[in-house]
Amino acid sequence: MTDPERIKGGVATPVPHDSAVRHVRGEAVYVDDIPEPPGCLHAAFGLSERAHARILELDLSEVREAPGVVAVLTARDLPGANDVSASAHDEPLLAEDEVLFHGQPIFAVIAESHLAARRAARKARIRYQDLPAILTIDQALAAGSLLEPMREMVKGDPEAALAAAPRRLRGRVELGGQEHFYLEGQAALSVPGEGDEMTVHASSQHPTEIQHKVAETLGVPFNAVTVIVRRMGGGFGGKESQGNAPACLTAAAARLLGRPVKMRYDRDDDFLVTGKRHDFRIDYEVGFDDQGRILAVVIDQAARCGWATDLSLPVCDRAMLHADNAYHLPHARIRSWRCRTNTVSNTAFRGFGGPQGMAGIERVMDHVAHALGLDPLEVRRRNFYDPPGGARTLTPYHMTVEDCVIAEIVDELAESCAYARRRAEIAEWNARNQVIKRGLALTPVKFGISFTLTHLNQAAALVHVYTDGSVHLNHGGTEMGQGLFVKVAQVAAEAFQIDLDRVRITATDTGKAANTSATAASSGSDLNGMAVRDACEKIKRRLTAFAAERFQTSADQVRFLPGRVRVGEEEIAFPDLVRMAWEARVPLSATGFYATPRISWDRAAGRGRPFYYFAYGAAATEAAIDALTGQWRIERVDILHDVGRSLNPAIDLGQIEGGFVQGMGWLTMEELVWDEAGRLRTHAPSTYKIPAAGDRPRHMNIRIWERGENREPTIHRSKAVGEPPLMLGISAWLALSDAAASCGPAYPALDAPATPERVLRAIARARGERWP
Amino acid sequence: MRDAIRLLLNGRAVELRGVDPRMTLLDWLRVRRRMTGTKEGCNEGDCGACTVSVTRLENGRPARRALNACIQLLPMLDGCAVTTVEGAAPAGRLHPAQEAIVRLHGSQCGFCTPGFVMSIHAACGPGAPPEADSPPDLLAGNLCRCTGYGPLLEAARQARAAPRPDWEPDDEAMAAMLRGLDDDEDLRLEGGGCVAHAPASLESLCALAAERPGALLVAGATDVGLWLTKRLDEPAELIFMHRVKELRHITEKDDEITIGAGARYVDARPVLARAAADLGELIRRIGSVQVRNAGTIGGNIANGSPIGDMAPALIALGARVELRLGARGRSLPLEDFFIDYGRQDRAPGEVLTAIRLPRPADPARLRCWKISKRFDQDITAVLGAFDIAVEDGVVRHARIAFGGMAATPRRARATEQALLGRPWTEETVEDALPALARDFAPIDDMRASAAYRLRVAGALLRKRLIEDMAPGAPTRLAGTREGAA
């Protein structure tokens, strides 16, 4: 039954993803599904087979002669700039004289079919002169190979506080990288228009950047390029900057050949060419008291950034900004080394450095608890930031945490998941069983929301109301599966008080919403929801003024009710009012805009208020390991997560569950292996293992924190949910560590990813055994 | 002799003549037919985004199977009814799998979704294998990077419980349609510079293979498919084995089981699981539903992969292989078939026809463990198979074989000798560990280090002992003897 007092699909209702029916019917169109324009050609890259080398000779004659080949492009053939960098102009689309990583694109084949292009690309004869390659963090640090000088944040006097601390310990943790493994690989289709115009269909989180980079590649003004993104088959940060290369290459080829050109990376190429989550090595020294209270820390983070700058600097900044997670660190020194290496250029990945920073301090908590023989949860609780008004609220970057609710969430979760009882049961199990050992960990998440580069925190929208009362919605955010489009449409439906099915969601288009930021940093609904509401409110104000005038009443007598508008004593159906307004020549289109307030950040000083607010959550995970083989299974997880007042609880639950599993995958099974020549050996799902259906914990209890509410006036008081749940996966890694710790007296110091081999090594460490 | 592939595509008959026989079903659907609902995620049969639902006659009855279209070559679909996501439901209707995924919020980015729909669709059809009742097994071959799988697993459960959609033909009608496509004609296909044969009888197959020793023999193509899609091989001549019904036979006698080389995992699993429980569990861990619906045990062996999962277990059980070169047959112990890395005792033109397995006296005696980073659909780091018999506390019989420890699957002969005739105790096992290090010198690779492999090989021998010494104690995280409380 429909409730005349409620619209269908307003905010806070769990409506399905707007494309759900198209998804299940195979009707949702991705770039490679767009009907190819007549004459469409296909591109493939020829890749470097060396990690670092000078190109002595590039013989492409066999490539050119291969069946179906129309053209072969090298850097010299590009019409404009040879650069696809998102930041520092240090990322050539095609290598010139030198290759800087194994897998770097050197040339591109344009052929009549995707397969013909791939086949031809392998026929190059390239002579290299090998140059010394820097492959690891150690090698980069030894050679001083950094993207920028070491960065530092300091609070108080950490060295003095360490010296005075009753207890101290040091440790090191290594955290592997992570391949995005979006199911849809990178793809772009460029269609030349008249004159200098180019339309690019991209699978990108950042259409505006694609527009800019394509314009530079072609040597045309930005207004000659239109970029359209209907949806992505997954992004996770991997399509923030990594879509630039196929977009620019296809646009260049389309311009040179005057034909549409499409490119999609074969999965192996996608692994080899595109950046991943940064692997980190974190060294820590911590001073604490007998109760486990942290008195001082020095945390040294070293990240492997790869061959080009890309987004590594802000990624590493965010790692520093999350080196505290939810803990008050009275004295802290946090240092960061951004290592330049001859490996793929690492990039944005859900959490953007935050997960690595957070995993570091969670390891510290775990280690301190082990040293004191305390339950790690107790140690964590003793170090939480105070709730609003408390004394312990200052971060290492000198921002006051004004909204900390972590203690409440953790208390509630510990209770609901029966932490204490299960802790005792596990201890008993472990005493009785020699092969299968169990472990439990409850970890918090506090994640800062906003782009740290302050000016990116803006958004634009375009809303049309048509004369039948239907609404056309457009904004700068992109849909990668996270449900942004439906959430923002719910905001528009709520604003106009019309049913959700009256709101038409349309593809992101640089011709409609201009100068937009990437859909990243979990900011999608915060920014675009507000921009859309701004546009809707503009139109509503015009309708209100019109109605008040037409019905001879005051504006405060006009109210938007479900499907209708009350004007004084009268009620008019929304479409009728719209039509009357049109006849009275009232404009029914508006742009909207939003800029996040209250934020500022001095990157050089490492101080400021980079975040508008924080999102919180906590997870308790139970794991079992096989102490003979190191194999493991995640058995159960309980999650309580703060999304403020949810815009769509079904979408938010999906983000939380998916985020946890992805974070768990990062820290447990997903292993990127490079060999000594700098070649990635795990470059397809056959060798790189993301969690499969059977890896989902058999018991998974996820709840949205009912008391959650954003203290800041965000869109309907909701909170961002894209990235924060990923870090709930840290609990899975530490549950494995806890299980390993039960095998012996020493600290197991489990590194990530916790493959069976690493778990077995951690067990050996706990037992004080020598590993051959 | 027939020169065209005949199949049903979403209920409509299609004849394909002159098509390149190396073309994958996925490329044909997406590029030739412009049916883009079926997605390419990895092009190597690992992610399941390209899953289609294929009904074929098995012993005269229709059986619906999920297959990865990216590594199915077109001739392999001859005689089959292929359903893609576009054909899962008529316009305006939703298949129960589709309806449940929408209702349970099981799609986010939507790219993997058609594959999940079709995996569940296949499990809702006739002849569903046992894993259809276990959603995590059913969906092990479909990767999703967004959801965390919860709603998809639940959708599989609910769709399986839903009544069969009224628009689907009943089994009799489907069987009749498929019989209409079936014949005993040999198939010869030519296109794109490639000749392919799909003989209908064993005689024909052996004659062809002997006559054309350079032709590539193709069984389930779960490996050959990757040679084409990833290595971009361009074999000029192919001989497909899948139409030879004799090769798919599985015969059980009191003392012996014979598995035709063309028998697929899905069909051999129940028989082998009855013969040795751990063999059933091992097959559950090989590939995924889609891979087991295509892959054959004969192909797994003939291919000679150093980690081929079936080989160590079959060696431990004393299996033999049967080969034919033209009309001449021979038989040899499986362990002798593997000569070196990539080299098997198979002459050019010789066809592996069957595996013969002595029936184990006790289905619980064989123990085998597969060690990999992920439980499902992963390539083995170490696989240990132990057939150990103890009488009066003394080891009387020991056949131990490992995969992933050497260039071929191999017996641990020194270890066996170190156990035989000695009391089955911790001390004996500890004493045998140096022998294991003499048996194998494994390598480091992306799956594990040599040190880990050797350590785990020893740990598995210990585990074998512990399962005898403390029969009730949990020793396994996956499979039948679960450690989970």
Alpha-carbon gap, residue B399 to B357, rounded angstroms: 14
Cis peptide before A753 (omega within 30 of 0): yes
| Cα dihedral value A31, A35, A40, A42, nearest 10 | 40
pLDDT confidence tier of residue B307, bands split at 50, 70 and 90? confident
Sort out which chain B residues have CB atoms less than 8 A from A625's CB and list them. 477
Alpha-carbon gap, residue A86 to A212, rounded angstroms: 10
Touching check for B429 and chain A: CB below 8 Å? no
pLDDT confidence tier of residue B290, bands split at 50, 70 and 90? very high
* Helices A312-321 & A354-372 angle (0-180, nearest 10): 30
Give per-residue pLDDT as tens, A567-576. 999 999 999 9
Touching check for A650 and chain B: CB below 8 Å? yes
* Chain A: residue whose CA lies nearest to B120: A24
Give per-residue pLDDT as tens, A471-492. 999 999 999 999 999 999 999 9
Inter-chain residue contact A184 with B39, CB threshold 8 Å: yes
DSSP state at residue B40: P
Provide Rg for chain B, Cα atoms.
23
Sort out which chain A residues have CB atoms less than 8 A from B456's CB and list them. 628-630, 756, 760
Inter-chain residue contact A24 with B94, CB threshold 8 Å: yes
Sign of the CA dihedral running B389, B393, B394, B400: positive
Nearest to A24 among B31, B39, B107 (CB): B107
* Chain A: residue whose CA lies nearest to B456: A629
Segment A393-401 mean pLDDT: 98
Q: Does pLDDT of A347 surpass 90?
A: yes
Alpha-carbon gap, residue B96 to B115, rounded angstroms: 15
Segment A668-696 mean pLDDT: 98
Give per-residue pLDDT as tens, A26-42. 999 999 999 999 999 99
Count of Cβ atoms closer than 10 Å to residue A767 Cβ:
15
Contacts of A400 (CB under 8 A, 6+ apart): A393, A394
Alpha-carbon gap, residue A109 to A60, rounded angstroms: 10
Sort out which chain A residues have CB atoms less than 8 A from B371's CB and list them. 629, 631, 756
Inter-chain residue contact A483 with B108, CB threshold 8 Å: yes
Alpha-carbon gap, residue A19 to A489, rounded angstroms: 12
How far are the Cα atoms of A28, A262, B23 from residue A35, in angstroms, in the given order? 13, 11, 21
How far are the Cα atoms of A184, A371, A377, A585, A691 from residue A620, in angstroms, in the given order? 32, 21, 10, 59, 19
Inter-chain residue contact A28 with B142, CB threshold 8 Å: no
pLDDT of amino acid A5: 86
Q: Does pLDDT of A407 surpass 50?
A: yes
Query: Structure tokens of A421?
Result: 């009882």
Sort out which chain A residues have CB atoms less than 8 A from B475's CB and list them. 435-436, 626, 628
Nearest to A635 among B142, B149, B484 (CB): B484
Nearest to B140 among A29, A681, A692 (CB): A692
Query: Structure tokens of A323?
Result: 């080196």
DSSP state at residue A268: H
Touching check for B97 and chain A: CB below 8 Å? yes
Nearest to A661 among B88, B148, B459 (CB): B148
pLDDT confidence tier of residue B129, bands split at 50, 70 and 90? confident
Touching check for B192 and chain A: CB below 8 Å? no
Sort out which chain A residues have CB atoms less than 8 A from B86's CB and list them. 25-26
* Chain B: residue whose CA lies nearest to A701: B150
Alpha-carbon gap, residue A319 to A322, rounded angstroms: 5
Segment B302-328 mean pLDDT: 94
Q: Does pLDDT of B480 surpass 60?
A: no
Through-space distance between the first and last CA atoms of chain A, rounded to whole angstroms? 70
- Chain B neighbours among A 736-755 (CB < 8 Å)? 755
Report the SS3 class of residue A12. Answer: coil
Touching check for B445 and chain A: CB below 8 Å? yes
* Chain A: residue whose CA lies nearest to B104: A16
pLDDT of amino acid A1: 41
Q: Does pLDDT of A772 surpass 70?
A: no
Sort out which chain B residues have CB atoms less than 8 A from A756's CB and list them. 371-373, 381, 448, 452, 456
Most B-contacting residue of A25, A485, A636 (CB-CB within 10 A), to test interface: A25
Query: Structure tokens of B229?
Result: 């899609």
What are the beta bridge partners of residue A609? A600
Inter-chain residue contact B483 with A435, CB threshold 8 Å: yes
* Helices B113-123 & B96-103 angle (0-180, nearest 10): 130
Q: Does ipTM surpass 0.95 in this model?
A: yes
Sort out which chain A residues have CB atoms less than 8 A from B379's CB and list them. 686-687
Count of Cβ atoms closer than 10 Å to residue A24 Cβ:
29
Sort out which chain A residues have CB atoms less than 8 A from B34's CB and list them. 35
Give per-residue pLDDT as tens, B416-443. 999 999 999 999 999 999 999 999 999 9
Query: Structure tokens of B296?
Result: 């054959």
Inter-chain residue contact A626 with B476, CB threshold 8 Å: yes
Closest approach of B195 to chain A, Cα-based (Å): 19
Inter-chain residue contact B139 with A115, CB threshold 8 Å: no
Give per-residue pLDDT as tens, A144-160. 999 999 999 999 999 99
DSSP letters, A36-101, are: PPTT-EEEEEEE-SSSSEEEEEEE-HHHHHSTTEEEEE-GGG-SS-----SSSS---SS--SEE-S
Inter-chain residue contact A673 with B232, CB threshold 8 Å: no
The whole-model pTM stands at 0.98
Nearest to A25 among B98, B474, B478 (CB): B98
The residues of A assigned a catalytic role are 723
Give per-residue pLDDT as tens, A692-706. 999 999 999 999 999
Size of interface A-B (CB pairs under 8 A): 278
Give φ, ψ of A266 to 5 degrees.
-60, 150
Alpha-carbon gap, residue B5 to B242, rounded angstroms: 13
- Chain A neighbours among B 339-368 (CB < 8 Å)? none
How far are the Cα atoms of A392, A517, A611 from residue A608, in angstroms, in the given order? 17, 22, 9
Beta strands in A148-279 (DSSP E): 151-155, 167-175, 187-192, 198-202, 225-229, 261-264
Touching check for A204 and chain B: CB below 8 Å? no
A367-371: long-range pairs with CB below 8 Å, 24+: A367/A169, A367/A171, A367/A284, A367/A286, A367/A747, A367/A749, A368/A169, A368/A286, A368/A288, A368/A292, A368/A294, A369/A292, A370/A741, A370/A747, A371/A167, A371/A169, A371/A747
| Cα dihedral value B59, B65, B70, B72, nearest 10 | 0
Describe the strand order of the beta sheet including A471-475 as a list of residue ranges: A503-505, A471-475, A458-465, A589-595
Touching check for B434 and chain A: CB below 8 Å? no
Identity of residue B483: G
Most B-contacting residue of A31, A34, A47, A435 (CB-CB within 10 A), to test interface: A435
Beta strands in A540-603 (DSSP E): 558-561, 564-567, 570-573, 589-595, 600-602
Most A-contacting residue of B33, B108, B370, B377 (CB-CB within 10 A), to test interface: B108
Closest approach of A33 to chain B, Cα-based (Å): 6
Nearest to A692 among B27, B377, B483 (CB): B377
Give per-residue pLDDT as tens, A496-552. 999 999 999 999 999 999 999 999 999 999 999 999 999 999 999 999 999 999 999
Alpha-carbon gap, residue A740 to A738, rounded angstroms: 5
- The Cβ-side half-sphere exposure at A371, using a 13 Å CA radius, reads 23
Segment B397-413 mean pLDDT: 97
Segment A11-40 mean pLDDT: 98
Inter-chain residue contact B484 with A624, CB threshold 8 Å: yes
Cβ(A606)–Cβ(A153) below 8 Å: yes
Cβ(B412)–Cβ(B458) below 8 Å: no
Segment B322-335 mean pLDDT: 98
Residue with tokens 């009882």: A421
Q: Which among B23, B59, B53 is positioned nearest to B38, based on CA atoms? A: B53
- Chain B neighbours among A 258-287 (CB < 8 Å)? 266-268
Cβ(A531)–Cβ(A475) below 8 Å: yes
Give per-residue pLDDT as tens, A514-526. 999 999 999 999 9
Alpha helix positions (H), A329-483: 354-372, 376-383, 406-416, 419-432
Sort out which chain A residues have CB atoms less than 8 A from B71's CB and list them. none
Q: Does pLDDT of A87 surpass 60?
A: yes
Alpha-carbon gap, residue A619 to A629, rounded angstroms: 27
pLDDT of amino acid A438: 98
Average pLDDT, chain A: 97
Alpha-carbon gap, residue A87 to A76, rounded angstroms: 22
DSSP letters, B202-218, are: HHHHHHHHHH-TTSEEE
Task: Tell me the pairing of strands B256-260 and B250-252.
Answer: antiparallel
Give φ, ψ of A6 to 5 degrees.
-130, 135
